[in-house]
Structure 1
Amino acid sequence: MKILVTGHKGYIGTLMVPMLLDKGYDVVGLDTDLYARSTFGEGIVEIPELKKDIRDVELSDVEGFNAVLHLAGLSNDPLGNLNPKLTEEINYQASVEIAKLAKQAGVERFIFSSSCSNYGAGGEDWLNEKSAFNPVTPYGVSKVKVEQDVSQLADDNFSPTFLRNATAYGVSPRLRFDLVLNNLVAWAYTKGLVYIKSDGTPWRPIVHIEDISRAFIAVLEAPRESIHNEAFNVGRNEDNYQIRDLAEIVKDTVPNCRIEYAPGAGPDKRCYRVDCSKIANVLPNFKPKWNAKKGAVELYEIYQKVGLTLEEFEGSKYQRIAHIKYLISNDLLNGELRWQTEELKVVE
């Protein structure tokens, strides 16, 4: 099976691609590589690729593939808030256009990396795939709109599937520190502090990026009738945590650290618990292998191995929004998040 992975050089994609190759898939990537200067630890597995912004994808780019795994986009709430118009163009409009082109090209499966951010201010209730959308950020809104529009494209020859990932964590060649578990462990390791920016009460489902990749592979392996135009919450029910519980796990993992709440910290309106029973029941090949404790240990050990410093952790290299602002301020990207010249794409 020949697969196109958009965003193959991002946080999830750099881990997913080797897993797809190990399964014997023929994989091609498509990525503008905004984070070429942000590689963490060991290098990235190279595959045939199209160096292209997803806003510029053409029919010829998606021809000849059996499936498109669409990961690319502005990757989190703060980055989405930086310019809601660009979030609309990149995360929503470009994603829908790629799905339309894939359908036109005869691509059979389109797997979209959606998000549990769709549920937004979900409160204390358990939310399943039929629960109401309640996004509270441009990022969440964009994911909802893609699902709604692409679902209308489904027919006998084109099967979209929507994987609503819980909050991601885990080590990647394109590591991010703006994710809750990655962030808390980095604070604990570099500063001896588990620093919580809310009051610790919000619920958040979390899932390792390796298990997200397993979900994509499970969809590729599943019979068409099981995944056709279906949405799945990606994670496990037992991996819904309150932020304060994650803080305790980190405190137990990283020696000589303490928990501290930000001054005036209050509840975060992004609060939701998700029911992941459907993916477990419908996709028996999906076998998650990670939990928060194991993930915290993995993160702590890699931070130790590379000697992570506070300056690296708080700097612009691995913080998505800070890195984008750095590229813009140094005239590497323009305000539309496009590379200024071909030469500036080269890693310095």
Structure 2
Amino acid sequence: MINLTNLIFYLILIMSSLFTVSSNSWLSCWMGLEINLLTFIPLMYMNNIFNSESMIKYFIIQVFSSSIFLFSIFIMFSKFNILNLNLLMLNFAILMKLGSAPFHYWYVQIIAGMNWKNCFLLLTWQKIIPLIMLMYNFSFPMMFIFILFNTFFGSMEGLNQMNIRKIMTLSSVNHLGWMIIILTMNETLWFIYFLMYSIILLILILMFNMMNLSSMNQIYFLKNNFLTSFNIMINLLSLGGLPPLMGFFPKWISIQFMIMNNLNIMNLFMVMMSLITLYFYIRMTYSILILLNFKTKWIQLIYNNYMNYIISINSFISMGLLMIISMINF
């Protein structure tokens, strides 16, 4: 059964994003952001105290960043307009909405108390508007520091995490650093990166939701179905950018573009931080192949032909870069 109320909110969420992206003034962008906020908050609400807490925190942070954004717009049109101050405030507000480091601590706490469906929306769709607005008002000397912050904090803070939602959030912070640097060089490449990241994340979140996973130690006992375990392992490694999986393809092109733009030091730093993220992905996956088999009561697997077909297709999608590389070589 389709919930008509949720369907209406989803449609308004999509329309508000399209309205903001197609706006030709900062004030209309602010209006689209507010419609997007007021639409996403009811979707977060469920009869759960943790979702309610996340909803309140998200509302407070978004209202605070929207206030800074609106104040910077008023400064822009006033006679006291100071270009550097206005640019700094505007970018701070956008980065706070994105959950960019070092403003990412609210982002981790909110996602830790949400269900997987809302996690996917917050990690993917809700980033489209701020990233495009950041492209309109980009300042590379200022963004250089935030790119380094995102890749560093997203990698280092994920090492001591056991909650899968927090790991996915910190991984998103690391990928955000890559998306911001790509956004300066090529918008088409950013779209390819974002699309591939969203596809891999959608596959993983579908699997985590289907099996009711929330902690890393639950993956240690995930041996009931080899196809399911193999799919989780392949997609986690693909999200980390391990060649020759699909997640490596956008990073490969990004590294080439950074070399062409003489960003060698930043390129080396970002690659090293990506290796650290790949380490805690491997830490989640090696137990699937090494440890013994256990049957657990908390797992909720839906065994039917439909889900088996989806799992098989997802595995082929994640390994699709092998075919792309073969076509490039020919």
Instruction: Tell me the TM-score normalized by structure 1.
Output: 0.34
Larger Rg: 2
Higher relative contact order by CA 8 Å / sep ≥ 6: 1 or 2?
Answer: 1
Normalized per residue, the structure richer in strand is 1
Normalized per residue, the structure richer in helix is 2
